[in-house]
Amino acid sequence: NAGVTQTPKFRILKIGQSMTLQCAQDMNHNYMYWYRQDPGMGLKLIYYSVGAGITDKGEVPNGYNVSRSTTEDFPLRLELAAPSQTSVYFCASSYSGISTDTQYFGPGTRLTVL
């Protein structure tokens, strides 16, 4: 199993541009998550999904959108990129939503908005 994969690894955007961060998992997990990680701030939950067709906002959803058309894929869309969205983005998945379940993380996408 590849686990959780993310593309691209790095990206530089200009202010106002849009892009989609791709995330896929091959573990047949129902739950998927998008986090952003900023220095000294830990990981903040952006959006999550409990299954195909179902998504919900996390702690910091403004400026982002998601969709979940299949169990495997959970893309994160940035519209009108802003410097405040410069961060490292991690996608994660888990089999269930119970608090003791393991979340498996992808390798991350480092995004810079100039």
Partner 1 sequence: TQLLEQSPQFLSIQEGENLTVYCNSSSVFSSLQWYRQEPGEGPVLLVTVVTGGEVKKLKRLTFQFGDARKDSSLHITAAQPGDTGLYLCAGARSNDYKLSFGAGTTVTVRA
- Name the residues that contact partner 1, by CB under 8 A: 4, 35, 40-45, 48, 58, 90, 92, 97-100, 102-103, 105-108
CB 91, min distance to partner 1, A: 8
CB 111, min distance to partner 1, A: 14
Strand intervals (E) in the chain: 4-7, 10-13, 19-25, 31-38, 42-51, 54-57, 64-66, 76-78, 87-94, 104-105, 109-113
Between 18 and 112, name the residue whose CB sits nearer to partner 1.
112
Between 34 and 71, name the residue whose CB sits nearer to partner 1.
34
